Structure 1
Amino acid sequence: MNQNILVTGGTGYVGCVLTPKLLKLGYNVRVLDIMWFGEECTKQFEDHPDCELIQGDIRDETIVKRALAGIDTVIHLAAISNDPCSDLNPKLTQQVNYDAVKSLVRLSKNSGVRRFIGASSSSVYGIKSEPDVTEDLPLEPITLYAKLKAATEPIILTEKSADFVPVCIRSATVCGYSPRMRLDLTVNILTSHAVNKGLITVFGGQQKRPNIHIDDITDLYALLVEAPAEKIAGEVFNAGGDNYRVIEIAEMAREVVGGDVKIEIADVIDERSYHISSEKIKNVLGFIPKRTVRDAIADVKKAFENGLIPDYQNTRYYNIKRMRELYH
């Protein structure tokens, strides 16, 4: 029997790549998404016979109960994403990134869901001096977004039981092209500036940032659907590919884009710096990212060249700009 999977946030940046991938693998997929950032990406799967799309708010328990009916596995991606958006409306962020997660986990168990895959973030570590940040190091989140990600992990993981398999993924910053594109993520921003302005502004540049290609993180979520329960139940895994200093990413973007792209250095505005280790997930599940930051830069460059990102200044590509339109 085919598994029934609910993807919350299934039309978001990551969800827009994950949902078609799950359908291609033969799963029945239900998407729950409020669709604040438009419906462009739903064209890939809205007419697929094995996909059901529910436009709704993750805070609405009536809608969530409907979305959970008959579901075997939940992949929870929905969130107020990134630090500026979280700070814009802290009350909303608390409701979506914490309260709604508590409710979703409870309702999932009550509905007979057998597996719950939670999308956390490597930002829960804060600023670390260790050369490799592993899952057993203390969490020292700095921002509201990171603090709520850290707070929801135990809510998910402590529900582990014989018939409920929870797992959390502390993802590195995702990069690369998605039909629901984001140009407010490190690699994507720098590439966009190289392509569209010929000038990359780097704030500081010495900060280390872990990155993972969008096709790798979505491959991982698909892998977790079928991974042996005994290997993942109650576990948390880092998931990262390349760890680079921001200035190194800028230099790569300049090389890949080509032409006379300049780099300017500005004062640091975000001091977060860490180098995550993904050895645990490699050893336990054999997961090793296949793509690189350079691949992501090339993919975004190609998307611009092919007209897939028609107006790079459009607010739909920037979460904070879109959130300001919605709530101000």
Structure 2
Amino acid sequence: MSGIQRVLVTGGAGYVGAVLVPALLDVGHEVVSLDTHWYGKDVLDAVAGDERLEILEGDIRDPEMVRKAMAGCDAVIHLAAISNDPSADLDEVLTKEVNLDAVKLLVDEAVSAGVKRFVNISSSSVYGVREEQDVTEDLELLPLTIYSRCKCDVEEYVRETSKAHSGFVGINLRPATVCGWSPRMRLDLTVNILTMHAWRNGVITVFGGAQKRPNIHIADVVEAYVQSLGWPAEVVDGEAFNIGYENHTVMEIAEMVRSEFADGEVDIIVTDTNDPRSYHISSEKISRLVGFEPGHTLRDAVRDLKRAFDSGSVQDWDDTRYYNVKHMLSLGVGEPD
């Protein structure tokens, strides 16, 4: 789509946002980052001096702040959320406010502001636990949690809004679990956790192991989000796309991580799990319709993480900002089980 210059990124200081914002600047966009900065204000320091970047601290539940952030924007890439199932379970009322109600407000304001394209970042967890060999976009969604139910409801709202308003292109993207290094690092995601445990402890603890976890390198999801601003409207309007690459079991990922360390340096211990989530997504549609192909492997992500750890990029492993649930509890959100 031509004419997209100024882009609002909600959650611009989050794990993916902190990589996406510089990427958008690199290809010439003006960017507005709207974030609560719950996890710190410094993650965009490397680009904070760029005159094309406006950094706003605010909440997507605040209509005035949303209108301020949206002013003059041609597109929205919506990342902001109470992210992942455990975090969302801490306070279901808050989760609904942020992950559903506020997003409907965001979509409505985007229409009113004349935004041309709204890229909604959903989740592959909307499929629930599946037995199909290839989980494709045309399968019925079977959300298991408040997090994935909100994602489903938002997808429907974006789709219906795009149908109702000519010139407003709504896209739903369902990424696999993201992995790799970010200035706003998360150490509570599968590949990142296993690599951290290997590096710090020489032991990887695998809970279960047989459940499949589709993963994708952070550089690849960022590239998909950047490219989505230019995909043909007639092809993508109202559509949903999986964004994945490698579907491995947790045990296979653990073995991959171990192989990046010296022989005998890392052990694997297997224990039971009460987390049944298992899904393996197909990314054939996004490849066929818009030509998107990932360029990085999970092994690349492990190597990037190990390199960052070796260089001392993580100074305090106990900093709660690396762990969403711990940090939300430190902010007074919810109570531990």
Length-normalised TM-score, structure 1: 0.98
| Residue aligning to 2:49 | 47
**Secondary structure at the residue paired with 2:76?**
strand
Alignment of 1:23-42 (within 5 A): 23-42=25-44
Give the match for residue 138 of structure 1.
Answer: 140
Q: Are positions 1:191 and 2:195 aligned together?
A: yes
- 4+ residue runs over 3 A deviation: none
Q: Specify the SS of the correspondent of 2:23.
A: helix
The counterpart of 2:275, out of the listed 266, 270, 281, is: 270
SS of residue in 2 equivalent to 1:180: coil
Select 1:250's aligned residue among 254, 260, 266: 254
Q: How far did residue 258 of structure 1 move?
A: 2.8
Q: Which residue of 2 aligns with 1:317?
A: 322
Task: Give the secondary structure class of the aligned counterpart of 2:248.
Answer: strand
CA displacement, residues 37-89 of structure 1 (integer Å, 9 cap, x when unaligned): 01221202211110000000110000000000000000000000011110111
Within 5 Å, give how 1:9-88 maps onto structure 2.
9-88=11-90
Separation in structure 1 between the aligned mates of residue 200 and residue 17 of structure 2, nearest angstrom: 26
Given that 2:159 and 2:238 are in contact with CA atoms closer than 8 Å, whether structure 1 keeps it comes out as yes
Aligned-pair distance for 1:162?
2.4
Matching of residue 158 in structure 1 with residue 160 in structure 2: yes
Q: Is the 8 A contact 1:191 1:257 kept in 2?
A: no
Amino acid at match of 1:165: V
2:238 paired residue number: 234
Percent identity for Structure 1 against Structure 2: 52
1:113 to 74, 94, 115: 115
Higher mean alpha-carbon deviation, 41-50 vs 8-17, is at 41-50
8 Å CA contact 2:4–2:75 kept in 1: the answer is no
* TM-aligned CA deviation for residue 267 of structure 1: 0.4
SS at match of 1:43: coil
Find the aligned partners of 2:279 and 2:262 in 1 and give their Cα distance.
29
Aligned residues: CA RMSD: 1.0
Secondary structure of 2:229's aligned partner: helix
2:207 is aligned, of 188, 200, 203, to: 203
Kindly provide the amino acid, as one letter, of the partner of residue 312 in structure 2.
Answer: G
In structure 2, what is the equivalent of residue 326 of structure 1? Answer: 331
Does the 8 Å contact 1:193/1:199 carry over to 2?
A: yes
Q: Which amino acid aligns with 2:132?
A: E
Measured in 2, the distance between the counterparts of 1:258 and 1:86 equals 38
1: distance between equivalents of 2:20 and 2:314? 19
Which residue of structure 1 lines up, in the alignment, with residue 307 of structure 2? Answer: 302
Long gaps (5+) in structure 2 = none
**1:2 Cα offset (Å):** 6.3
1:282 aligns with 2:287: yes
Letter in 1 for 2:223: D
Q: Give the whole-Å Cα distance in 1 for the aligned partners of 2:300 and 2:192.
A: 11
User: What is the CA distance between 1:215 and its match in structure 2?
Assistant: 0.2
Contact kept in structure 2, 1:115 and 1:166, CA below 8 Å: yes
Q: Within 1, Cα distance between the matches of 2:61 and 2:261? A: 42
Greater shift in the superposed pair: 191-200 or 250-259: 250-259
**What's the TM-score once normalised by structure 2's chain length?**
0.96
What corresponds to 2:172 in structure 1? Answer: 168
